Amino acid sequence: MNPLPRHVHRTACNRDCPDACSLLVDVEGERAVRLTGDPDDPVTRGFLCERTAKFLARQYSPDRFMSPHLRKDGRLVPVSYDEALDYSAKALLRIRAESGPSAIFNYRSGGSLGLLKNVVDYLFEQFGPVTIKRGDICSGAGEAANIADFGVSDSNDLFDLEQSRLIVIWGKNVHVSGSHLLPLLLAAKRRGALLVGIDCVRTRMAPLCDLFLQVAPGADGEIALAVAGEIFRRGKVAPDLARFANGVDAFRALALASPLADRAAAAGVATTDLARFASLYADHAPAAILVGWGLARRRNGAAVVRMIDALATVRGNMGVNGGGASYYFARRPPFDLSFIAGAAVAPRTISEPLMGQELLAASAPPVRAIWVTAGNPLSMLPDAVTTRRAFERTEFVAVVDSHPTDTTDVAHVVFPCPTLLEDDDLLGAYGNHWLRAAHPAVAPPPGVRHEIALWRGLAERLGLADRFDGSIAVWKERLLRKLAPHGITAERLASGPIRNPLAPTLRFAGNRFDTDDGRARLPASAPQLPPAAMSGFPLTLMAVSVAKAQSSQWCEPPPSPAEVRIHSTAAAGISDGAPAWLESVLGRMPVVVRHDAAIHPSIAWMAKGGMQRNGDCANVLIRAVLTDAGEGGALYDEPVRLLPR
């Protein structure tokens, strides 16, 4: 018997991850059999994270949607594309005629980094404009902080870290979220650079760091202010700070308002450790700070990120090689999305973190239809039970997804989409400035169409065929207009990653910022410390990214019941491995308790991305509360308790 022909195809991972890795896919016949990282990609460097390396289990999972599904007699059943599209178009046209386009909510989330996913916004804008989302559940507060301070949220080139003498990994679990930073950090350490880690969980980075501070949850602003105070006291401030920064006097007064020992006590760290960090940051320039996204997912999140930005600014670490405070890499600017007007023309917006509440409260008209692309809001948004109730009340819900989720469970129609191995798209990363293309390594099943084909079919039925007649290649060309003068085409990207030529390797060179006057803005007020523990609820829930899941996409079945990790001193008599209830003011869920000395004693730590359908969705316990700016979600502030079960 002759073996099946074997080929290797190049593509890129489109999932919500900072790295956007280049993949090599071994294909036998028509089936992918092995995934590896592309060694020629300067970021991927030949290795993959666990969840992507094991993606084949999800690719060939028997529960995958292989055709459109329509809800009949309470069940989703397979139907033809024509029936599903006809049903959807009829519902959308009827609702628009009866209640106007604002009764339709187009919700596109970040489950895919593919830029072509934005085209759905254009479709619904042409059909309406319709209601869209505002805010950002993941990075809204941090990006708002960067924009307030520097006018834009962007970073020096990733490889600028090669010039750093000190690198601070602040609230960033590199082994889980951004694993391709690890080779750079290890190489920096070999060159003699010092590493400092700051986190409320003692992560796997801790043993690699020269100093690790385990800070109390939400108290990171005290750390930044303490170090800034020492910078001022020691005269280590950038000599021309007043030239390029506004608010210097007010920030100096803020930083010097409390002695270092008091700030150490507020942050829950040893005074000697905080003093050592202050000395390291004062004496080792240039110094880079890698700011974790989780820092901003608290009520004081934007203010905390602003403190870190200010620390980097006053020390003179912005606008220099080897320096910076890196929260985000701007991934959309190189692509031409100018044909989408967004909030400027939308008749109404719905807050993403408050989605359930605002959907239920919407009136004149109420929201009667929801279209979901690249998201699973019933699992991933706070107050998940309310969000589910809002969706269940809506008379038409359409979801585009590859696998069943909490959100497809309440859909009236589900359209299957290609997986990351089948996708055809353009990708920008938010952890580096490299551009990549997803190119089908294997063909999608016969009943699965690319989203562009899906939206074109819908547009034809909505009377928009003349504005939506382009192929995937045509839409790619449209998005690449700004890059075309630099010789970047879809064909070139399909052959390998290319660094974004529009992104400078040094951001804010010469301390010239993207603000109206070109100067950085220093904050004048400190972040509010988290409130004292709620009576009867002594722990704070942190449901975070884990190595085995990309949001609610797991590479293997998650533990059931869900595991909650706590410090043994916070166990309230519940033994390691024992069943328990995890309870908040919103409700309770069954868990298994694991004692873990790496967890701060005030935290109940668990994986995010569980689903209501499986009884392990942390968001059923987390109230919908906004961050202090940027309309992000305060996901890490929920008081909880453990009870025996």
Long-range contacts at 357-360 (CB < 8 A, ≥ 24 apart): 357/383, 357/386, 357/390, 357/624, 359/105, 359/387, 359/390, 359/391, 359/393, 359/394, 360/386, 360/389, 360/390, 360/393
Q: Could you report the per-residue pLDDT of 276-307, keeping only the tens digit for each?
A: 999 999 999 999 999 999 999 999 999 999 99
Residue with tokens 């085209």: 119
Tokens found for residue 121: 């916004």
Count CA atoms closer than 13 A to 535's CA, side-chain side.
Answer: 0
Predicted pLDDT at 6? 82
- Burial (0-12, 13-18, 19+ Cβ within 10 Å), 383: buried
What pLDDT, on the 0 to 100 scale, is given for residue 41? 98
Which helix (H) or strand (E) covers residue 232, if one does? Answer: helix 220-233
Digit-coded pLDDT (tens) for 145-199: 999 999 999 999 999 999 999 999 999 999 999 999 999 999 999 999 999 999 9
In this prediction, residue 557 has a pLDDT band, given cuts at 50, 70 and 90, of confident
DSSP type of residue 39: T
Domain boundaries, the chain: 69-137+343-417+450-482, 156-327+516-521, 539-644
Q: CA nearest 319: which of 145, 149, 168, 513?
A: 513
Give the pLDDT band of residue 533 (cuts 50, 70, 90).
Answer: confident
Mean pLDDT of 384-396: 98
Letter for the amino acid at 85?
L
Q: Which of the four pLDDT bands, split at 50, 70 and 90, describes residue 121?
A: very high
* For range 501-528, the mean pLDDT: 97
Residue 215 clears pLDDT 90, i.e. is over it: yes
Closest to 367 measured CA to CA, from 74, 96, 70: 96
Give the pLDDT band (50/70/90) at residue 608: very high
Place of tokens 């912005």: 318
Question: At the topology level of CATH, where does 69-137+343-417+450-482 sit?
Answer: Rossmann fold (3.40.50)
Tell me which fold the domain 539-644 belongs to: Barwin-like endoglucanases (2.40.40)
The structure tokens listed for 372 are 């979901």
pLDDT at 162: 98
Q: Report pLDDT digits (tens) over 426-480.
A: 999 999 999 999 999 999 999 999 999 999 999 999 999 999 989 999 999 999 9
Tell me how far apart the alpha carbons of residues 228 and 207 are, in angstroms, rounded to a whole number: 26
Residue 590: which region, alpha, beta or left (left: phi > 0; alpha: psi -120 to 50)? beta
**CATH number listed for the domain at residues 156-327+516-521:** 3.40.228.10
Are 161 and 167 in contact, with CB atoms under 8 Å apart? yes
Token pair of 263 as six digits: 């700030």
Sequential DSSP letters for 563-624: EEEE-GGGSTTPPTT-EEEEEETTEEEEEEEEE-TTB-TTEEEEES---GGGT--GGGTS--
Measured on CA atoms in the order 562, 568, 574, 576, is the torsion positive or negative?
positive
DSSP bridge partners of 373 = 108, 400
Contacts of 153 (CB under 8 A, 6+ apart): 142, 143, 146, 147, 327, 328, 330
The angle formed by the CA atoms of residues 622, 625 and 631, to the nearest 5 degrees, is: 130
Is the pLDDT confidence value at 126 over 70?
yes
Distance CA 604, CA 606 (A): 7
Distance from the Cα of residue 138 to its chain's centroid? 5
Report pLDDT digits (tens) over 307-366: 999 999 999 999 999 999 999 999 999 999 999 999 999 999 999 999 999 999 999 999
pLDDT at 3 over 90: no
Predicted local confidence at residue 1, as pLDDT: 53
Token representation of residue 259? 């002695």
* % of the chain beyond a pLDDT of 90: 97
Q: Where are the alpha helices (DSSP H) in 428-541?
A: 451-461, 472-479, 490-494
* Tokens coding 312: 């980097």
Q: Which of 311, 241, 315, 255 is nearest to 285 (CA)?
A: 315
CB–CB of 450/419 below 8 Å? Answer: no
Task: For 570-594, write each residue's pLDDT tens digit.
Answer: 999 999 999 999 999 999 999 999 9
**CA 381 from chain center: how many Å?**
12
